[in-house]
Amino acid sequence: MKMLKEKELLLIDKMKLKTAFLLSFIFLVSCTSNTIFEKPKNLIPKDTMSLLLQEMMIASSAKFVKNIHKEKNVNYMPFVYNKFLIDSIRFETSNFYYMSKIDEYQKILVDAKKALEEKNKVFKDRKSRLDSIKKDSLDKAKKITMRLDSLKIVAKKRKNDSLKKLKLK
């Protein structure tokens, strides 16, 4: 009887071990990376994707700034899609594909960020030049105004002096 119980326990232990191996194998097989998807037929090229992401970042930032018509919360994304002659579905499929290839997507994002920083630098330089030109023109206008005011004061004094001379005579 003891031998029978020991054999049953051995069989149970072997079954547990086989079940553990089977579950481990299934777990390892299911963990393989299936996140890289097939390349879409109408994939947006990397350089165009970088430009597109730049424009989209600008458009999303501009949403909260008043435009020429004093409007806020305008969705500029359709304008970006029209500029690049794509639709939102094509962008989503391309974006999804590049996101599955993280190294390529990282390069695209870094390129877009560098280009935006360069554009920002150019616009800041242009703004500082325009501000200095405005400041210079305001300073000139103040000087001219001060000259005119001083000439008016001098003219008043002369007029007053000539009136006093007339009164004295």
Structural domain boundaries, residue 130: 37-168
Whether this prediction's pTM lies above 0.75 is answered by no
115 CB contacts (<8 Å, ≥6 apart)? Answer: 50, 51, 54
In terms of pLDDT, which residue wins out, 74 or 7? 74
- Kindly state whether residue 15 falls inside one of the protein's structural domains: no
Domain presence at residue 155: yes
Residue 118 lies in a domain: yes
Which range (72-81, 88-97, 98-107, 133-142) has the least confidence? 133-142
Q: What is the pLDDT of residue 137?
A: 73
Query: What is the end-to-end Cα distance of the chain in Å, rounded?
Result: 154
Q: Is residue 41 part of a domain?
A: yes
> What letter represents residue 73's amino acid?
N
Kindly provide the b/e burial profile for residues 138-147, where b requires at least 16 CB atoms within 10 angstroms of the residue's own CB: eeeeeeeeee
Q: Span 59-80, mean pLDDT?
A: 81
